[in-house]
């Protein structure tokens, strides 16, 4: 029983990280109808920002960790906005294939430039928060995991508030539903899109820090696999649907943790792909999404 609860906790913490990344994918897709392949590399940049911030911050202290978190979120927000402005915006309105290819190019650029600059060998992420564990009835709970779940929850609640209670959040939802109509009522699409990218990237940056705290080995290609899984989570929940992304991430995190503990563990990366293909074949709208058909 404790084994099961332990796995549950692990799955929850992993799912929380996937959720932070998945939310960025889903928001950008909702507003622009394209998959930002470079999103997973923003996640990686967040981890690296934390790494370098950690050189100037006290280790093993929660405030230090939170400062690193804030730095990563801010840095990634800026990165996301810059990428959108430089590379995606000029292609807006053109064939979606072109933006897709550009996004792939951007992703590869970040990864391989990262390898050039930081080297391909993994680095050890500093222990920014106290590496304590609490033992409760045989359950081993690390402070890291608690922090992950806590921070992720806080951020998701903040996101919910931002999207449903603020003016710009409503504008974002309007643009997602109907960009032309949104423009007609005076919404500045450029600002909304920048905001969406900034928000999503900030969450990815947070995800990067939290991931690195739990799996303290970082390298420029670290974003590829978690990013893909987070995307699958977003699709599972219904791409464009914010609670769906969180739900999908949770399910995926749990599934992966349980598979990892089973004898199929070598296949755990392929599982995400299998899930993706399965959803797209049988329920493309995802669990909470709506599939819209083309008007003839």
Partner 1 sequence: MKRIPTPLIALVATVLAAFGVSFFSDRIDPYYLDVMIGVGINVILAVSLNLVNGYTGQFSLGHAGFMSVGAYLSAAVTLLAGPRLLGEDGGTALQQGLLFLAALVMGGAGAALAGLAVGIPSLRLKGDYLALVTLGFGEIIRVIFQNVESLGGALGLNGIPNYTNVFWVYAFAALTVFTVVCLVRSTYGRGFLATQDDEIAAEAVGIDTTRYKIVAFVVGAFFAGVAGGLYGHFKLTITPTGFDFTKSIEIVVMVILGGMGNTPGVILAAILLTVLPEMLRAVEQYRMVLYSLLLIVLMLVRPKGLFNFNFTAIAARLRWRYLAARK
Q: Which residues bind partner 1 (CB under 8 A)?
A: 34-35, 87, 90-91, 94-102, 104-109, 111-113, 116, 231, 266-267, 269-270, 273-274, 276-277, 280-281, 284, 294, 296
Closest to partner 1 by CB, 4 vs 112, is 112
30 or 126, CB closer to partner 1? 30
Q: Is 61 helix (H, G, I), strand (E, B) or coil?
A: coil
Shortest distance, position 56 Cβ to partner 1, whole Å:
29
CB of 277 to partner 1, least distance (A): 6
Q: Which residues of 152-169 are buried (b: 16+ CB within 10 A; e: fewer)?
A: beebbeebeeebeeeebb
Helices (H), 54-125: 62-83, 96-118
Q: How far is the CB of 109 from partner 1 (least distance, A)?
A: 4
Cα-to-chain-centroid distance, residue 80: 12
Q: How many CA atoms are closer than 13 Å to the CA of 83, on its beta-carbon side? A: 27
Residue given tokens 């739900």 in the structure block: 247
State which residue, 16 or 41, has the beta carbon closest to partner 1: 41
Give the H or E element holding residue 23: helix 2-32
Q: How far is the CB of 282 from partner 1 (least distance, A)?
A: 10
- Write the burial class of residue 134 (CB in 10 Å: 0-12 exposed, 13-18 middle, 19+ buried): exposed
User: What's the min distance (Å) between Cβ of 283 and partner 1?
Assistant: 12
Minimal distance, residue 145 CB to partner 1, in Å: 28
Beta-sheet pairing, 123-124 with 217-218:
antiparallel
Nearest alpha carbon to residue 228 among 28, 80, 18, 32: 18
CB of 68 to partner 1, least distance (A): 28
Nearer to partner 1, 145 or 255 (CB): 255
Question: Judged by CB, which is closer to partner 1: 68, or 233?
Answer: 233
SS3 37: coil
Q: At its nearest, how many Å lie between partner 1 and the CB of residue 182?
A: 22
Residue matched to tokens 């680095």: 123
Q: Cα separations (Å) of 281 from 143, 202, 251, 266, 287?
A: 40, 32, 19, 24, 13
140, β-bridge pairs: 135
Of 177 and 225, CB closest to partner 1:
225
Q: Which is nearer to partner 1, 108 or 157 (CB)?
A: 108
Nearer to partner 1, 143 or 272 (CB): 272
């Amino acid at each position: 029983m404790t084994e099961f609860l332990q796995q549950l906790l692990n799955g929850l913490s992993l799912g929380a990280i996937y959720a932070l990344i998945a939310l960025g994918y889903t928001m950008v897709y909702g507003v622009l109808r394209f998959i930002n392949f470079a999103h997973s590399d923003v996640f990686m940049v967040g981890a690296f920002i934390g790494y370098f911030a950690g050189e100037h911050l006290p280790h093993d202290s929660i405030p230090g960790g939170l400062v690193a978190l804030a730095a990563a979120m801010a840095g990634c927000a800026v990165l996301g906005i810059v990428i959108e402005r430089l590379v995606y915006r000029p292609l807006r309105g053109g064939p979606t294939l072109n933006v897709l290819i550009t996004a792939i190019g951007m992703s590869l650029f970040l990864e391989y430039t990262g390898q050039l600059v930081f080297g391909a060998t993994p680095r050890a992420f500093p222990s920014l928060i106290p590496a304590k564990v609490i033992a409760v009835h045989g359950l081993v709970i690390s402070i890291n995991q608690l922090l992950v779940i806590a921070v992720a929850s806080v951020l998701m609640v903040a996101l919910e508030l931002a999207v449903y209670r603020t003016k710009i959040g409503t504008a974002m939802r309007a643009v997602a539903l109907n960009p032309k109509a949104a423009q007609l009522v005076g919404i500045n699409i450029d600002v909304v899109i920048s905001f969406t990218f900034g928000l999503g990237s900030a969450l990815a940056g947070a995800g990067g820090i939290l991931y690195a705290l739990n799996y303290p080995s970082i390298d420029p290609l670290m974003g590829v696999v978690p990013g893909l899984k987070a995307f699958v989570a977003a699709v599972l929940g219904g791409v464009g649907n914010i609670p769906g992304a969180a739900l999908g991430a949770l399910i995926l995190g749990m599934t992966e943790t349980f598979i990892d503990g089973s004898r199929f563990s070598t296949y755990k990366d392929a599982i995400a792909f299998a899930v993706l293909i399965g959803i797209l074949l049988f329920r493309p709208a995802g669990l909470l999404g709506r599939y819209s058909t083309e008007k003839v």
